Structure 1
Amino acid sequence: MIYEGQAITVKLLEEGIAELQFNLQGESVNKFNKQTLLELQQSVVELKANSAVKGLVVTSGKDVFIVGADIGEFLDNFSLPEEELMELNLQANAIFSAFEDLPFPTVIAVNGIALGGGMEMCLAGDYRVMADTARVGLPEVKLGIYPGFGGTVRLPRLVGADNAIEWICAGKEHDAESARKVGVADVVVPLDKLHDTAVNLAKRCVSGELDYLAKRQPKYEKLKLNNIESMMAFETSKAYVASQAGPNYPAPVEAIKAMQKASTKGRDEALKIEAKGFVKMAKTSVAKNLINLFLHDQALKKQAKDYQEKAAKVTKAGVLGAGIMGGGIAYQSAYKGTPIVMKDINQQGLDLGLQEAAKLLVKRVDKGRMSAAGMAEVLNRIVPVLSYGELNNVDLVVEAVVENLSIKHKALAEVEGQLAENAVLTSNTSTISITELAKPLKHPERFCGMHFFNPVHMMPLVEVIRGEKTSEETVATVVAYAKSLGKTPIVVNDCPGFLVNRILFPYFGGFALLLRDGADLVQIDKVMERFGWPMGPAYLLDVVGIDTAAHAEKVMADGFPDRMKRDFKSALDVLFAEKRYGQKNSLGFYRYEPDKRGKPKKKVDADVQALLKEVTQPSREFTEEEIIARMMIPLCLETVRCLEDNIVVSAHEADMGLIYGIGFPPFRGGALRYIQDMGIAEFCALADQYAELGPLYQPTAKLREMAKNGQLFFDN
């Protein structure tokens, strides 16, 4: 044994070929933490000093290669002063450079996932052999940073500036064959041939058949681009990437700037340029918030995994009520491999549900993501029925009928009588109390909420709502089923609107008050989109449906009359009375016309202003800051109340629910993170400026107490 540590071992194999293996003890995956970096440094020293070593193969003792850096550890480093963080980064880079400079050929055998720092380890080797199951990439921009272990330096010198820009700025994972096509992988082989192929490649280098030094040399030099080529590659890319990423996500453009500045330098100077830009990004609030969201997402995945241990298996599901929502749920279940019975009271509903599923599958086929045979296989997993008989052997049913208490009561009671003894029954209600819905059921312990968001195939969140009598096994089973659908489940306690809609409707309440006071709806939408929302409140209401929103608003007002009941006629009331239901009938706050692809495109409608005159004060100017405050304070305060009322058990689950459920701007970290970043005392003071607008704008006593005592929602 040449070296033996807790993360890395190095041993001599045969004919002077050594094997360095990553196998981090006590962890299910390999990652670059302080321990691994230190051991890599020590391993390189031992290898360099060992005259018996003529070539090196790098492998993994786990199913993955290296998943990247230890994000939690790195987030702690990001709070260090810039000079200190820069020094740490350069020290880490010196380890990778020392590995790259070893006096013999190095071959990296990539058996599975190699992302971020794991991918950068691959780039530091001379050759990369990948199993056909490997997946590689540099996803750092998704965390608000860019590659910091030499990725922006080595990748463009290996695969060219254009390919490197695409890989780094998109942050996507790539399969082994895609990596081979651009030159990231030299060879792709089946997994069982990976080790032997890598060893043989190292031997060919040692024998002189392959010139590993010539392969290595471009990574030491400046990029081979003349001035015009450089301008074309970098300036054009900057403009395009900036338009795609938007002003709130600076890392992709900063990565291009780093590559451009470093393109005229040798490796060591280029790495200093990368480090400087990396530190600049690491110190932004965007990086802090996106990294925290990543860590929170990991925590949610762990919670879901813990629930799965108590869950009953769902081998066949059912959905009650077809149409767009039922069809979306059926599609998602069938596509992810769980057969589903889709029941409706008439053929028209079933046809609509099947059309919805087929439409989504056709899109996948058209984009080359699925074969026609694969589409047929998925459709065959959806069984449309008009009677309850087919539901007697399903493990779980999702009720998705119209959002009306009496209709839901009748449907739930009927379907319960048809289910097997241990089957779980759920409701896709978006606002109605689960405890209330359970009243006619004989087994309320086997009932809970399973709230999908529309469109089902795109929205990642599923709220799993625990009713007063819901059993833990029921919750666990529904969480596991949601996970099997590729969704992120968050378990919440029961109340009108649950977590996401309870928080969303105060936001709409802020919008109604702004319109009443003379604000322009188009301006509000533009301001909130610049703030980071995917769409402004007027556009969002049109997408949700004015009729749907009006009904949900009434449920919320009945549930929380102290702050959600309005004492004035609103713009929503007027549009509902005029039957302007939004996108569904092409008239709402905006009017809609189909674009070339048949998708509804919004247009400003002059008729709306005339319609709203009766319920709005004369038009007046509002500053951007005023609009943001009046929209965000109610939403943030309701999030605080949900946490205080134990609707959700942690601050990070509340914030993740908003990001996954309604598109809260991820770079802002969530509503509670937004309050904390502003300062809790400062937020309370801002809310007090608008206290005359009513209870929606008045901080809770506990929040004021937190402000007074310097307490926080999050530790970092």
Structure 2
Amino acid sequence: MIYQGNAITVVRGDDDIATLTFDLQDESVNKLSSAVVTELDEAVKALQGESGLAGLLLTSAKEAFIVGADITEFQAMFGKGGDFLESMLVRVHGIFNAIEDLPFPTVTAINGLALGGGCEVLLTTDFRVMSESAQIGLPETKLGILPGWGGCVRLPRLIGADNAVEWIAGGTQNRADVALKMGAVDAVVPAEQLEAAARDILARAIAGELDYRARRAEKQQPLKLGPIEQMMAFETAKGYVAGKVGPHYPAPVEAIKVIQKGAGEERARAQAIESKAFVKLAMGEVAFNLVGLFMNDQVVKKRGARYEKQARPVKQAAVLGAGIMGGGIAYQSASKGTPILMKDIKDDAIELGLKEARKLFAKQVERGKLTTEKMAERLTNIRPTLAYGDFGHVDLVVEAVVENPKVKEAVLAEVEAEVSEQTILTSNTSTISITRLAQNLKRPENFCGMHFFNPVHRMPLVEVIRGEQTSDAAVAATVAYARAMGKTPIVVNDCPGFLVNRVLFPYFGGFSLLMEQGADFARVDKVMEKFGWPMGPAYLLDVVGLDTAVHAGEVMAEGFPERMGSLAGGAKGEGDSQSAIQMMFENDRLGQKNAKGFYAYEEDRRGKPKKVRDEAAIELVKGVARESREFSDEEIIARMMVPLCLEAVRCLEDGIVGSPAEADMALIYGIGFPPFRGGALRYIDAMGVDAFVALADDLAKELGALYAPTDKLREMAAAGERFYDTQNQAPAQA
């Protein structure tokens, strides 16, 4: 034994080959925490002090090689400042360079995922052998940073600048066949042959058959690129990537700049360039928020996994109501392997649902994600029916009929009589109280909400809504089914609009008040899109549908009349006036569904709706304005964001959602809250709770209860509290 640690062992074999094995104790995966990096330093020094070694093999005893650095440490590290980060990077570069400089050949056996820092470790060795099922990649740009442990230096010298730009800027996970084709690895073999293949390459290098020194020198020298090649590789890429990721995500373009600046340098100087850029990004708000987003996602997944452990598995599902929504739910279930019955009372609705499912499967085939044979096989997981014949064997039913409480109550009572006593019933409702829908059920404990977002195949969130009588078993089964469908379930308690719509509609209320005071809706859209939303409020209302928005607004107004009474009529609840949203609806402008709303819609070349300016809509909106005011961008943002953020606060205080992490992730996954801003509650933290309360108070003086802070939020502001603890990322109110 050359070295023994908690995560790393180094053993010398009879053939004088050392094997360094990553096996982090008491963890399911290997990750490079600061403690593991310290062990790696000690292990490398032990290797340097061992005489007579012929070679080194890097392996993992886990299913994955190394999943990356320990992200739970990031925000605390970022908080220590640039000098600390710089010294940390210098230290890690020293360790990795020491592996690269060992006086004998080195090879890595990549048995599973090797991402981020894990990928940067394997880039230090002279050769790499990969299992057929393994994947490698540098996804750091998705966290708002860039590879800082040599990835921006070594990868371009291995696979070429253009390929490295694609991998690093895109943050992709790359299959073994792709990695081999690019030259990132030297061989791909079945898992059972991995170690033998790695040792064979090592033996050939020791024998002089493979020139490991030449390999090593190539990684440490400048890239061999002429001026024209550099321009082609970098300038074009910067423009393309900047256009794709937008101005709010600087890391991908910064990574390209780092590769470009380091291309003409040797190892030490190129690494210094990389380190400087890493520190610059790590100290920015975007990286802080994206790392926080990752941490929140882990909280949500862990809570989902806890529910799943308690659940009876869903082996057969059913959806009531076909059409576009039912077809989308059926597709999602079938595509992930859970057979589903799709029932309706009309043949044409069944055909519409099947058409939707076939269309979505066909797109998967077009993209190379599925073969035609697999598509046919998965389509057989959907069984259309006009009767309840096989419902006695169904484990979970998703009711997805029209958003009308009386219709839903009738359908749910009907299906309850056809299923077993253990079957879980769920309703895909976006607004109707789950407690109300359970009133006529004989087994209300087996019933909960399962709110999918449209389009089902794209939107990751499912709200699982607990009614007053819903059992833990029903919630657990529904969460487990949502996870089996590849969705992110978040459990919330019952209230008008549940979590996401309850938080969204005050945002629309802010929009209506702006319209009443003469703001230009197209300008409001541009400002909010520049702020980071995928679409502005007027455009979003058109996509949602103005009829849907009016109906949901009435539900919200009834549930929260003091704050949201205006959503059912004019501003501030005055019955003799109309909001811009109601004005559109009453003039049969329903949005994209009938090609006219705040905008008119034409088909683009791909047959998708494209919004265009519509003078008729502009005149209608002028009709609801009581005054004409100019608003600055900052005023528009405040008027839109404050009510949304306040309602997220109220949902947390009311116990509708269990933690800041779940609240923020629901808004990001459900309505496209700008991810780089971290969510509504993290947005308040970034502004400062005291500053946010002061801003809300100023607005409330003019605009009323929709903008009034809660008493508890005032107490937080006075005490200097936050929603998140920045030191360890444990949500303060979780």
TM range (shorter): over 0.9
**2:524 is equivalent to residue 514 of structure 1:** no
Structure 1 residue aligned with 2:405: 405
User: Does the 8 Å CA contact 2:516/2:627 hold for their aligned counterparts?
Assistant: no
Superposition pairs of residues 1-40 of structure 1, within 5 angstroms: 1-40=1-40
**2:684 is equivalent to residue 713 of structure 1:** no
Structure 2 residue aligned with 1:228: 228
User: Does the 8 Å CA contact 2:430/2:451 hold for their aligned counterparts?
Assistant: yes
Secondary structure, aligned partner of 1:398? strand
Structure 1 residue aligned with 2:504: 504
Structure 1 residue aligned with 2:48: 48
**Residues 20-44 of structure 1: CA distance to partner in whole angstroms, max 9, x if unpaired?**
1000111110010122111111111
**Residues 660-708 of structure 1: CA distance to partner in whole angstroms, max 9, x if unpaired?**
1000000000001101100111111111221121111111111111101
Moved more, 263-272 or 146-155: 263-272
Structure 1 residue aligned with 2:158: 158
Superposition pairs of residues 454-603 of structure 1, within 5 angstroms: 454-566=454-566, 567=573, 568-603=577-612
Secondary structure, aligned partner of 1:690? helix
Q: Which amino acid aligns with 2:41?
A: Q
User: Does the 8 Å CA contact 2:338/2:381 hold for their aligned counterparts?
Assistant: yes
User: Does the 8 Å CA contact 1:315/1:395 hold for their aligned counterparts?
Assistant: yes
User: Does the 8 Å CA contact 1:319/1:340 hold for their aligned counterparts?
Assistant: yes
Secondary structure, aligned partner of 1:342? strand
Q: How many percent of aligned residue pairs carry the same amino acid?
A: 60
Structure 2 residue aligned with 1:110: 110
Secondary structure, aligned partner of 2:422? coil
Find the partner of 2:688 among 669, 679, 683.
Answer: 679
Structure 2 residue aligned with 1:444: 444
Structure 2 residue aligned with 1:670: 679
Question: Matched residues in 2 for 1:637 and 1:60: separation?
Answer: 48
Question: Matched residues in 2 for 1:261 and 1:705: separation?
Answer: 50
Secondary structure, aligned partner of 2:230? helix
Q: Using structure 2 for the length normalisation, give the TM-score.
A: 0.97
Question: Matched residues in 1 for 2:623 and 2:96: separation?
Answer: 69
Superposition pairs of residues 620-635 of structure 1, within 5 angstroms: 620-635=629-644
Q: Using structure 1 for the length normalisation, give the TM-score.
A: 0.99
Secondary structure, aligned partner of 2:129? strand
Question: Matched residues in 2 for 1:650 and 1:613: separation?
Answer: 41
Q: Which amino acid aligns with 1:502?
A: R
Question: Matched residues in 2 for 1:469 and 1:35: separation?
Answer: 47
Question: Matched residues in 2 for 1:617 and 1:141: separation?
Answer: 47
Find the partner of 1:697 among 685, 690, 707.
Answer: 707
Displacement of 1:150 in angstroms is 0.3
User: Does the 8 Å CA contact 1:520/1:619 hold for their aligned counterparts?
Assistant: no
Unaligned 5+ segments in structure 1 are: none
**Residues 468-510 of structure 1: CA distance to partner in whole angstroms, max 9, x if unpaired?**
0111111111111100011111000110100000000000111
Question: Matched residues in 2 for 1:357 and 1:583: separation?
Answer: 21
Displacement of 1:228 in angstroms is 2.3
Question: Matched residues in 1 for 2:210 and 2:288: separation?
Answer: 45
Question: Matched residues in 1 for 2:50 and 2:621: separation?
Answer: 82
Structure 1 residue aligned with 2:308: 308
Structure 1 residue aligned with 2:121: 121
Q: Which amino acid aligns with 2:84?
A: E
Secondary structure, aligned partner of 1:458? coil
Displacement of 1:238 in angstroms is 1.1
Q: Which amino acid aligns with 2:207?
A: S
Secondary structure, aligned partner of 2:623? helix
Question: Matched residues in 2 for 1:713 and 1:49: separation?
Answer: 49
Q: Which amino acid aligns with 2:689?
A: I
User: Does the 8 Å CA contact 1:289/1:667 hold for their aligned counterparts?
Assistant: yes
Displacement of 1:641 in angstroms is 0.4
**Residues 176-201 of structure 1: CA distance to partner in whole angstroms, max 9, x if unpaired?**
00111111111000000001000111
User: Does the 8 Å CA contact 2:169/2:241 hold for their aligned counterparts?
Assistant: yes
User: Does the 8 Å CA contact 2:113/2:135 hold for their aligned counterparts?
Assistant: yes
Structure 1 residue aligned with 2:729: none
Displacement of 1:351 in angstroms is 0.8
Question: Matched residues in 2 for 1:286 and 1:314: separation?
Answer: 39
Structure 2 residue aligned with 1:240: 240
Secondary structure, aligned partner of 1:533? coil
Q: Which amino acid aligns with 1:209?
A: E
Displacement of 1:367 in angstroms is 1.6
Q: Which amino acid aligns with 2:712?
A: K
Question: Matched residues in 2 for 1:519 and 1:210: separation?
Answer: 71
Q: Which amino acid aligns with 2:239?
A: A
Q: Which amino acid aligns with 1:548?
A: T
Displacement of 1:51 in angstroms is 2.0
**2:190 is equivalent to residue 180 of structure 1:** no
Question: Matched residues in 2 for 1:240 and 1:365: separation?
Answer: 27
**Residues 43-92 of structure 1: CA distance to partner in whole angstroms, max 9, x if unpaired?**
11111222231011110000000000001112211111211210111101
Question: Matched residues in 2 for 1:161 and 1:153: separation?
Answer: 10
CA RMSD for the aligned pairs? 0.9
